[in-house]
């Protein structure tokens, strides 16, 4: 080292401590920080607190660490204020104390620490109208100081009109700034407003580009949305195989929409071969994640014995979950139709076989061998609905094809709501 160890220049002593720290000589760093701190160097005091906290260069001593941080904080050092906020917030090395934590974060934010501003904004957001006003202000201050993680939530508050008036134009501007700064969450939001024309001109081509960038950055929701744009051919060419692959990546990253979408692709064979077992697995995971349509589809696979064994009892549980959820009217109607069939103990005499409702609900009795024999009216209905028929609709088609009358036709009509 070129700096004399006995120098009285506190800044140089502190820098010598940093040099020792960078080289891994923590005991020597500790000694120099101690000297500089005794001479009033606030940075050295903070660094000394860090070494006490981590046990670097001396035995770990949380009480001494807090003492050093408080000394530096009282001298106006914002980083020490924020560290104290973190300590009391996390409650690992000291007892958790939310009031103390917030007080230190407020002091750090007032001292222009952008990270403390972000933390304080998160604490305030959602705490009521006045708290949202303060949260929006802190997000904006942090964003203007370059705190990239403050940009997306600021844009969200501007777009939603929380903490102040709605401003779609300003929201879009902030999303763009965050996106161009490399924040995947901002890329997602910028792509969304571009696709929907919020705060400016609609531009699906640009939206697809930004969804792609965010997806490549492992942003799970962007993977699913990029896949959808590929699926529908929005902002570029249609590519079902690539769409299915992005749905899979989103699902594996934990995105519930992605789980449903890859299940649907595996179920239908779009973008690749049909995989009923894989579809059932992903429908189940999406259903566990709260995706209402996936709940219904999973229940149908359980009833039909598709992709695994038939399990009527488990199917009933999922059907009931759909009915008690926020699922759309169409999903709930299909579920009610299916439950009508499940709750009726009727048998059908079809093609020389006496079959129960649950027999008819399995793919064994509703497959490609049956489809060519459907009547023109049933075939037309099949084509209009595709392969994604509810269980009750399957039975209704068979009854219609057989020109069944009496109670069977009555139940079919009630269940399907589709047979004139």
Work out whether the CA dihedral 319, 321, 323, 327 comes out positive or negative: negative
Q: What would the pLDDT profile of 231-271 be if each residue is shown by its tens digit?
A: 999 999 999 999 999 999 999 999 999 999 999 999 999 99
Helix (H, G, I), strand (E, B) or coil at 104: helix
pTM of the predicted model as reported, rounded to 2 decimal places: 0.79
| pLDDT tier at 416, thresholds 50, 70, 90 | very low
| Six-digit token string for 114 | 């952008």
Q: Which long-range contacts (CB under 8 A, 24 or more apart) does 411-417 make?
A: 411/340, 411/341, 411/344, 411/346, 414/337, 414/340, 415/337, 415/338, 415/340, 415/341, 416/337, 416/390, 416/392, 417/333, 417/337
In the chain, which segments carry CATH 1.25.40.10? 239-327
- Check residue 393 and give its pLDDT: 54
Q: What would the pLDDT profile of 151-185 be if each residue is shown by its tens digit?
A: 999 999 999 999 999 999 999 999 999 999 999 99
- Check residue 414 and give its pLDDT: 43
**Angle (nearest 5°) at CA 233 between 228 and 236:** 115
Q: Which one is the CATH code of 239-327: 2.60.40.740, 3.50.50.60, 1.25.40.10, 2.70.40.10? A: 1.25.40.10
Work out whether the CA dihedral 51, 53, 58, 64 comes out positive or negative: positive
Angle between helices 292-304 and 329-342 (to 10 degrees): 20
Helix H or strand E segment including 349: strand 347-350
- Check residue 142 and give its pLDDT: 98
């Amino acid at each position: 080292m070129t700096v004399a160890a006995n120098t009285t220049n506190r800044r140089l002593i502190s820098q010598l401590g940093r040099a020792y720290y960078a080289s891994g000589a923590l005991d020597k760093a500790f000694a120099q920080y101690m000297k500089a701190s005794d001479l009033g160097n606030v940075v050295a005091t903070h660094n000394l607190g860090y070494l006490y906290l981590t046990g670097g260069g001396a035995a770990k001593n949380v009480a001494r660490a807090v003492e050093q941080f408080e000394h530096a904080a009282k001298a106006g050092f914002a980083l020490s204020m924020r560290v104290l906020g973190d300590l009391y917030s996390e409650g690992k090395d000291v007892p958790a104390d939310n009031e103390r934590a917030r007080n230190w974060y407020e002091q750090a934010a007032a001292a222009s620490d952008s990270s403390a501003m972000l933390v304080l904004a998160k604490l305030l957001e959602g705490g009521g109208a006045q708290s949202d006003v303060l949260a929006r202000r802190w997000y904006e201050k942090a964003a203007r100081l370059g705190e990239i993680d403050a940009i997306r939530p600021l844009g969200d508050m501007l777009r939603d009109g929380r903490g102040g008036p709605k401003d779609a134009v300003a929201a879009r501007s902030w999303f763009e700034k965050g996106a161009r700064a490399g924040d995947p969450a901002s890329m997602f939001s910028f792509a969304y407003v571009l696709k929907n024309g919020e705060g400016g001109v609609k531009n699906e081509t640009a939206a697809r580009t930004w969804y792609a960038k965010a997806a490549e950055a492992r942003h799970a929701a962007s993977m699913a949305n990029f896949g959808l744009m590929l699926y529908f051919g929005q902002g570029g060419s249609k590519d079902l195989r690539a769409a299915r692959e992005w749905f899979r990546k989103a699902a594996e990253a934990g995105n519930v929409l992605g789980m449903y979408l890859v299940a649907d692709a595996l179920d239908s064979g779009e973008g690749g071969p049909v995989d009923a077992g894989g579809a059932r697995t992903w429908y189940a995971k999406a259903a566990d994640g709260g995706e209402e349509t996936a709940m219904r589809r999973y229940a149908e696979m359980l009833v039909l014995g598709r992709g695994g064994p038939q399990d009527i009892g488990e199917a009933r549980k999922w059907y009931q979950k759909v009915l008690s959820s926020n699922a759309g009217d169409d999903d709930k109607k299909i579920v009610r139709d299916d439950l009508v069939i499940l709750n009726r103990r009727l048998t059908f005499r079809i093609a020389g076989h006496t079959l129960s409702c649950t027999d008819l609900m399995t793919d064994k009795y509703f497959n490609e061998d049956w489809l060519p024999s459907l009547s023109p009216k049933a075939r037309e209905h099949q084509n209009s609905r595709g392969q994604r028929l509810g269980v009750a609709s399957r039975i209704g088609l068979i009854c219609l094809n057989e020109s069944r009358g009496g109670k069977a036709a009555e139940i079919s009509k009630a269940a399907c709501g589709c047979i004139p």
